[in-house]
Structure 1
Amino acid sequence: MKNYITLTAIFLFAAFAHAQMKNVAYKDGAQKLNGVAVIPEKRIKNAPGILILPAWRGIDNHSKLVAEKLAKQGYFVFIADIYGEGNYPKDNTEAGKMAGQYKKDVVAYQKRIALALDQLIMLGTNKEKVVVIGYCFGGTGALEAARSGMQVKGVVSFHGGLGKDATRKTTAIKPKVLVCHGADDTFVPEDEIKGFQKEMHDAKADWQMIYYANAVHAFTEPEAGNDNSKGVAYNEKADKRSWQHFMDFLEEVLE
């Protein structure tokens, strides 16, 4: 694992050396937030943009790699800072607690997402051509962007939580929804999946949910290792397939 992380760091340096990546400071009231923007060198028609909501540890190598990859394809990209300066989790235990707080206080979560969306637009993105994507905790956030009525074309959740409090009213969902889900993901129970699917039906959403065989939680993240028995593991085939499904989704919703 140590050698892998070292190689990842080297790859990041080499990749980002040619990308217009910059840190962006913004605020939620008095709370300073530190997002990351990546500006495409070769821009495509209509200046579409992607907002990335990272996993529970906050902005990480994986979210930066995804951002750089998308920017190379011509998209404006912004990675949201949900927690804010001085509040970044030091380990998984802290991350679990902090992510849990935002899952309970969805209004606060939605506000941080909306503020990041504003930053994406200010980069020069066409506000009519935006998609929100998220990984794990961020996947939950992508669905919250749709639930809260944000003016985006689509949302994509990669191995994210799907549930919402049963006391919350289901309202119409206008953005198109793509959920990329590990078929063996034990972090998302069957009743949560059924509840989500009912919500999509009741919300009259244009949605799709794709299952990936032999994939558990965090299947897109190489640093998760490859031991499915731990419930969290990388799956190269599922990673590649979900990326292609994401590309097809972008082509459809941003046409």
Structure 2
Amino acid sequence: MRMLLKFVSLLPALLALLAAPVLAATEAPAVPIEQGPRVVGEPFTYETGGQSYQGYLARNVADDKPRPAVLVVHEWWGLNDYARDRADQLAALGFVALAVDMYGDGRSTTHPDEAGKFAGQVMQDWPSARARLEAAMARLRKQPFVRGDRMAALGYCFGGGIVMNMALAGMPIKAAISFHGSPAQAVSKPQPFDGVVQIHNGAEDPLVKREALTDMAQALKAQGATVKVINYPHARHSFTNPDADAVAERTGLPLGYDAAADAASWQAALLTLDKTLNGK
């Protein structure tokens, strides 16, 4: 009987001890959960010279403020999933990204001979190539979510050559960033350019001739550009594309993915975009 009475007398204290952790947990302030970027991609059509071009526009639809725009210029294969994926990545980082279509009607190919034909036709007619880019940029500027005064361009392989020539032509972009780009000069009359040009090149890339790369860098510098060329040891052509090894096996082209060079060049590009487009 005495034991029962003792237990009854201790019961309130025991209940208080059991309740304490529950009260503490319920009284702790809740950790706020913020929404991350909601990237949406959609077709983006523009026209010039009687031809329709099917680009891909990616942006964070959870953000209603006008943001700087970045043009993504595809490899010689045409506008494919790789260019779209890069546009999605840029959109997640706060830019409006437009993967342009340089061939018209959204054409793309997986055959090197056809890709070379498409790319050659564009590079041999720079006025038409420029008109396609200008048409894309003009429509992009009309979008309420775009800061039309702050644009940049980055490109891969064939697209890298395009963006270098955009800078050489004095087009209204703040930065031109090339990844394993072809440095062939398509612009016959270079114009002043006071933006940034960043060229990422594989040191073991047999498709990019060192003399041509040096000539392009010097030509850009002569027009007032701030030029930086970065060579990545052991990196081959298409070093940023994870599918490069499979494509090399299928086509016999000297391509190869390099994860370290991909990461380093992407980080450098993002820092440049942030400085030139988001800076004061």
Would the TM-score normalized by the shorter structure come out above 0.5? Answer: yes
Q: Report the counterpart of residue 10 of structure 1 in structure 2.
A: none
Structure 2 residue matching 1:209: 3-state secondary structure: strand
Question: 130, 134, 137: which one pairs with 1:117?
Answer: 137
Question: Which of the numbers 113, 118, 122 marks the counterpart of 1:98?
Answer: 118
CA distance in 2, matches of 1:223, 1:143: 24
Alpha-carbon distance between aligned partners in 1 of 2:66 and 2:203, rounded to the nearest angstrom: 36
Q: How far off is 1:112 after superposition?
A: 1.1
State the match for 2:242 in structure 1.
Answer: 222
The 3-state SS of whatever aligns with 1:83 is coil
Determine if contact 1:42/1:72 at 8 Å carries over to the other structure: no
Q: In the TM superposition, what are the counterparts of 1:236-255 in structure 2 within 5 Å? A: 236-254=259-277, 255=279
Give the percent of matched residue pairs that are identical in Structure 1 and Structure 2: 27
> Structure 1 CA distance, aligned partners of 2:111 and 2:266?
28
- CA shift, 1:230, in A, is 4.5
Corresponding residue SS for 2:240? coil
Amino acid at match of 1:169: K
| TM alignment of 1:129-208, pairs within 5 A | 129-164=150-185, 168-208=188-228
Distance 1:253 1:45, change over 3 A: farther
Q: Aligned in 2, Cα 1:182/1:89: closer, same or farther, shift over 3 Å?
A: same
What is the distance in 1 between the residues matched to 2:67 and 2:107? 33
Give the aligned CA root-mean-square deviation in angstroms.
2.2
Gaps of 5+ in 2: 1-37
The total of aligned residue pairs comes to 237
Q: How far 1:46 sits from its partner (Å)?
A: 5.5
1:78-101 Cα deviation digits (max 9, x unpaired): 111111128544622111011011
Higher relative contact order (CA closer than 8 Å, sequence separation 6+):
1
Larger displacement relative to structure 2 (86-95 or 112-121)? 86-95
Equivalent residue letter for 2:174: K
Length-normalised TM-score, structure 1: 0.85
User: Any runs of at least 4 consecutive aligned residues in structure 1 with deviations exceeding 3 A, and if so which?
Assistant: 42-46, 86-90, 226-230
Comparing 42-51 and 205-214, the one that deviates more: 42-51
Preserved CA contact (<8 Å) 1:77 1:120: no
Q: CA shift at 1:26, angstroms? A: 2.0
Tell whether the 8 Å contact from 2:53 to 2:106 is kept in structure 1 after alignment. Answer: no
Check the 8 A contact 1:49/1:76 in 2, yes or no. Answer: yes
- Shift in CA distance, 183/127, structure 1 to aligned 2, threshold 3 Å: same
CA offsets 1:151-203 (integer angstroms, 9 cap, x no match): 111111111011215x9333322221111111111111122022112212322
Q: Distance in 2 between matches of 1:72 and 1:181?
A: 25
* 1-structure distance, mates of 2:239, 2:228: 18
Q: Which residue type is aligned with residue 80 of structure 1?
A: V
The Cα shift of 1:28 comes to 1.4
Give the letter for the 2:258 counterpart: N
For the residues of structure 1 that align with 2:72 and 2:107, how far apart are their CA atoms? Answer: 19
Does the CA-based 8 Å contact 1:170-1:202 persist in structure 2? no
Q: Distance in 2 between matches of 1:248 and 1:89?
A: 32
Change (3 A) 1:37 1:213: same
Structure 1 residues 69-78 or 224-233, which shifts more? Answer: 224-233
> Which SS does the other structure have where 1:168 is aligned?
coil
Once residues 172 and 25 of structure 1 are traced to their aligned partners in structure 2, the CA distance between those partners, rounded to angstroms, is 30
Deviates further, 42-51 or 106-115? 42-51
Greater Rg over alpha carbons, structure: 2
CA distance in 1, matches of 2:211, 2:170: 25
1:77 aligns with 2:92: no
Relative to structure 1, the CA distance from residue 247 to residue 225 in structure 2 (aligned partners, 3 Å threshold; closer, same or farther) is same
The CA distance in 2 between the partners of 1:164 and 1:29, in whole Å, is 23
Question: Structure 1's 201 and 20: CA in aligned 2 closer, same or farther, altered over 3 A?
Answer: closer
Structure 1 unmatched ranges of 5 or more: 1-17
**What is the TM-score with the length of structure 2 in the denominator?**
0.78
Cα distance, 1:91–1:230 mapped onto 2, change above 3 Å:
closer
Alignment correspondent of 2:5: none
